């Protein structure tokens, strides 16, 4: 613990205070999430809320017309976007836009850390969507897996913001020895990034599925049985992104002797992973477009 800065305030209390001070999600985004969680919501209900916010309207239309979706025709209205993409996908576009912008605006972090962080996050999102395809998850739900993977490590951002020197020591390649970074986080701060992410997700009322993805992606067996399949897929996508050297730019330790057994236990044999590695590599560029349009530069 001597490499971490001394302070009269315990790190865990500092983290809790910081989270309590994070702004709420924008009112429009919060209303969109509320509507999308109501099975009685119609496309017209959603359109009325989104079109009242010109910035959000522009953001959604930019994303819909980006290389991420690769539609042949230009989508110029929110009603058309809702018809083409569906309520769930629109919800996930609004969710990711609001969450990423709010947290980015509330923090100031080393650019190199953020580059590595977002690369890993995008890889995990892309891999999660590919795993969902393999598991034959319905088309209308697959975007949720991409967003779950994209946001799964959000709890790292407050830790890197508040403890930049100490956190860099934890996550730099080779620094974690033979334990996951979350173990060193617990020792240093009394809380790991998954727990921090879960607290933020509850504060923002992101819903049970997304909250469990953030909080339990290192221990999916602890998630609610109703959300467990989604959390397991996010956990597998995270492991995939950390394991394959093509995508591995994080400092996260992976027990390579056991990794194929873990994948196989969830129904992903080695031959599936080889094909998945190719598919993920092909999809990353489109996903980076999504990220650049979502996060303010």
228-239 pLDDT, tens digit per residue, is 999 999 999 998
The answer to whether residue 45 sits within a structural domain is yes
The answer to whether residue 257 sits within a structural domain is yes
The answer to whether residue 1 sits within a structural domain is no
The answer to whether residue 47 sits within a structural domain is yes
Instruction: Give the Cα separation of 204 and 238 in Å (integer).
Output: 23
pLDDT given for residue 177 in this prediction: 54
Contacts of residue 225, Cβ cutoff 8 Å, sequence gap at least 6: none
Q: Identify the three-state secondary structure at position 226.
A: coil
Q: Which two tokens stand for residue 49?
A: 């809320």
Contact 72, 84 (CB under 8 A): no
Per the rule left: phi > 0, alpha: psi between -120 and 50, beta: everything else, 180 is beta
Instruction: Give the Cα separation of 293 and 122 in Å (integer).
Output: 13
CA 126 from chain center: how many Å?
A: 11
Q: Which residues of the chain have pLDDT under 70?
A: 1-8, 173-178, 245-257, 295-297
pLDDT given for residue 245 in this prediction: 54
The answer to whether residue 281 sits within a structural domain is yes
The answer to whether residue 239 sits within a structural domain is yes
Number of domains observed in the structure of the chain: 1
pLDDT given for residue 174 in this prediction: 58
pTM: 0.86
The answer to whether residue 251 sits within a structural domain is yes
pLDDT given for residue 150 in this prediction: 93
The answer to whether residue 2 sits within a structural domain is no
Task: Please give the radius of gyration of the chain, using alpha carbons only, rounded to the nearest integer.
Answer: 19
Instruction: Give the Cα separation of 252 and 250 in Å (integer).
Output: 6
- The CATH number of the domain holding residue 267 is 1.10.3210.10
DSSP character for 173? T
Residue (of 67, 63, 68, 66) closest to 78 by Cα position? 63
Determine the structural domain holding residue 83 and report its residue range.
11-294
């Amino acid at each position: 613990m001597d490499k971490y800065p001394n302070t009269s305030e315990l790190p865990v209390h500092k983290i809790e205070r910081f989270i309590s001070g994070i702004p709420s999600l924008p009112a429009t985004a919060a209303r969109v999430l509320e509507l999308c969680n109501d099975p009685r919501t119609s496309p017209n209900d959603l359109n009325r809320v989104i079109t009242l916010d010109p910035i959000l309207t522009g953001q959604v239309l930019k994303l819909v017309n980006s290389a991420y979706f690769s539609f042949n025709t230009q989508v110029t209205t929110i009603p058309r976007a809702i018809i083409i993409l569906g309520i769930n996908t629109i919800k996930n576009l609004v969710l990711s836009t609001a969450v990423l912008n709010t947290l980015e605006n509330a923090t100031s972090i080393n650019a190199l850390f953020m580059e590595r962080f977002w690369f890993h996050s995008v890889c995990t999102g892309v891999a999660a969507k590919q795993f969902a395809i393999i598991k034959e998850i319905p088309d209308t739900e697959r975007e949720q897996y991409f967003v779950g993977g994209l946001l799964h490590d959000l709890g790292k951002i407050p830790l890197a913001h508040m403890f930049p020197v100490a956190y860099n020591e934890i996550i730099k390649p080779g620094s974690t020895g033979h334990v996951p970074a979350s173990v060193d986080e617990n020792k240093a701060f009394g809380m790991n990034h998954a727990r921090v992410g879960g607290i933020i997700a509850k504060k923002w009322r992101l819903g049970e599925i997304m909250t469990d993805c953030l909080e339990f992606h290192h221990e999916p067996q602890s998630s609610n049985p109703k959300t467990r399949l989604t959390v397991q897929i996010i956990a597998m996508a995270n492991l995939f992104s950390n394991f394959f050297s093509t995508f591995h730019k994080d400092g996260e330790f992976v027990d390579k002797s056991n990794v194929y057994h873990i994948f196989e236990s969830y129904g992903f044999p080695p031959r599936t992973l080889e094909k998945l590695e190719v598919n993920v590599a092909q999809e990353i560029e489109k996903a980076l477009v999504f990220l650049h349009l979502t996060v303010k530069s």
